[in-house]
Each structure stands twice: as C-alpha cells, then as structure tokens.
Chains A and B, each alone.
Chain A
Amino acid sequence: MATDTGELTGVRIDKLTRRFGDHVVLDRVDLQIAPGEFVALLGRSGSGKSTLLRALAGLDYDVAGDGELRIPDRVSVVFQDSRLLPWRRVLDNVILGLRAPNPRERGAEALAEVGLAGRERAWPTELSGGEQQRVALARSLVGEPELLLADEPFGALDALTRIRMHGLLRALCKRHQPAVLLVTHDVDEAVQLADRIVVLDGGRIAVDIRPGLPDSRTPRDPGFQEVRELLLRALGVTS
C-alpha cells in the first residue's frame, strides 16, 4: 500500500529487546524487511524467533522490553495450528473480521485460490489437517496483507502435505506480494521458500543472507546445498 511519501511500507525493527524475567530473549535486534520480500527466520528452540514474530504481531503485551517497531497497517498471522473456529463454517471463518465490500465473494475467491472451491459450507472438523491449514492461508490473505507473519505454519503437517503447501505458499506470495516473515526450524523449508534467510542465535542476528537461488530450486542444486551447509553450521548442527 502506498504511504504519503509514495513508498511501499515494509518492516523496520530498531534495537528490539524482549525479556522474560532476567532472561534476555531478544537483544537489540535490528531488522528491515522490504515490501514483498520473503524472509525466513531460523533458529534453535529458545533462540527468540517466536518472540520476534509475536512482537511484530502485537501479541506480546505482557512482555518486558523496548525498541522500535514500524510495521504496515495490514498484518496477518498464520499460526502453527490452523486456529479455525470449529463452530463456524469454512467461508465464515475466512471472512470474519474482513472489512471489504462483498466479503463473501472475496472469501470464496480466496478459498478457490487455495484449491478449496466448493468447500465453503464445510465445518472445519470435516477437513484434513492440510486443508484446514489452507483455509488458514486463505483467511490470512483475503485481507490483502502488507505483512504476512507465519509461525511454523507447516510444522504440524505430514511431509507430503508440507511439500504441496510449500508450492502453494510461494505461488500465493508471488501473486499477492506481501512482505513475509516465516518462522521455521526447518533449514530446507527456509532455503526452499525464502529470498532471504536470517538466523537468530541467543537473541541476536547471527546470519543474514540472500542466497539468490532461482525460483525453481530443488535440494539437488549445488547452490541449495551450499546455503544449507552454511545455515546448518550457523545453527551448530554440523562441525
């Protein structure tokens, strides 16, 4: 979305600090995400990646800390669980909270985009785990967000479904062009999906790379392997 200066708004994080008691989870983190940029955030568990995402989502009201955040107006979040209201039908889940003309048509379009046309009146519990997560994707994209935050969105899915979801997410992001921050602990997923990969370690950014891989990338590419090695080393997995 254009601002007063005619610029697209991205994300700007300045010296963001978050503490739980004496434990510093985020230690003066600086990060900028350009409009439309797809960033994967990697880190071991406890590295602060979810804390960073929750700060951007505005879900950390009780957490101590300081720093500056500049985020776009329209932000949406995909959680690890699909988080669909079980008592609302699929389409109603997608459009609840949507402020736009013709919400039902837009909701149906969003469902068609994720391959669930015709399932508008289904109950969430009638869908498989992968389908539920696709509904969640439709819900997060129906409002045309400028920033999409995804907290391990495929973590609870089986391997085959996950591969399919990777392709879907990339296609959707190409079309809608939100800035994306994808939190994941899966190195392959990060390399597969993101334009830029950030590794968080001990509350600080340890690696920040743009691999520059082609759009159609596979783990067999030498470039893919190289990035993968580098990231695994940064995460302390290989010696």
Chain B
Amino acid sequence: MSESELIEIAGQWNFNYNYFAGESASRFFRELRENQRIMGTRCTKCRRLLVPARAFCDACMERTNEWEAVGPEGTLDTFTIITTQFPGLPKPPIVMAYVTLDGADTALINLVHGLDMSDIDKAARRLNSLPRVRTKFIDEPKGRITDFSFELI
C-alpha cells in the first residue's frame, strides 16, 4: 500500500417502497385493467378534463369531481426517440410521446409502437406530422401505466 493511495468506497442505496397510489389513481388503474379505457377527471373550476385522472387540479387548487373516459384515439403532441435500454421496456430505439387523447385537455405520456425504426430520421418525420394515434392495451392488463401504449393509425 502506498502512502499516497486514495481510497474509494463503493456504495449502493437500494430501499424498498410501497407507494400508495391513492383513490383516484387506483380507479384510473382499475379502469385500465378491467375496462381497458383511459379516464380523466374534470376540474370543478377551469373545467379542463385532466388526464391521467387525478384528485385535484394543481393550477386551480380545486378538487376534481366528474370522471370521463377519453380516447381511445388522439393526436401526438411531441415525442423523443430513446436509444438507451430500460429494464422492462422494449429494445431501443423506442418512441416516447405525449398524446392528447380525444376529449382530454391535457397530454398523456407513453410509448408509441408500430413504427419502422430502421430509419430514425424517416420515423421522426412521420411523427413530426403529429399523427393520429390509438390506444393499444396489452393482452393481460395489470392495472399499471405500462398496460397500454399508442400506435399510429
């Protein structure tokens, strides 16, 4: 050991959590799992239909009350193409996008499938036209945000 050796201590911070989704998100996820539909909640003040459904509007600081289904079709707002792998997600490149589903006043994020990604620039041009998309559910929804994705119409 040299007197000038500088030591690094390896560390890992890996705790388990159980996140309470709450009543609104729980109902949102149950709707995904049981009815394969995406729900929003309407702000009692600004009247926007907020998606995903939530208990309150943070712009107005008012509770939401009415539940309404949106989509299943919508319009792509913006996107990015991700080239890094994330556990549980498809092999990159993958498209992540914000989509405003028909009837909604806010955009919802999820993956976009069904696009030929062999030519990134060509795929980007297609997405840049803000295409119409539809919601597509997995075969066995589990009540998670990963139960659905978008595909181009």
Are the chains A and B members of one assembly? Answer: no
Residues of chain B touching chain A, judged by Cβ–Cβ distance below 8 Å, are none
**A contacts, CB < 8 Å to B:** none
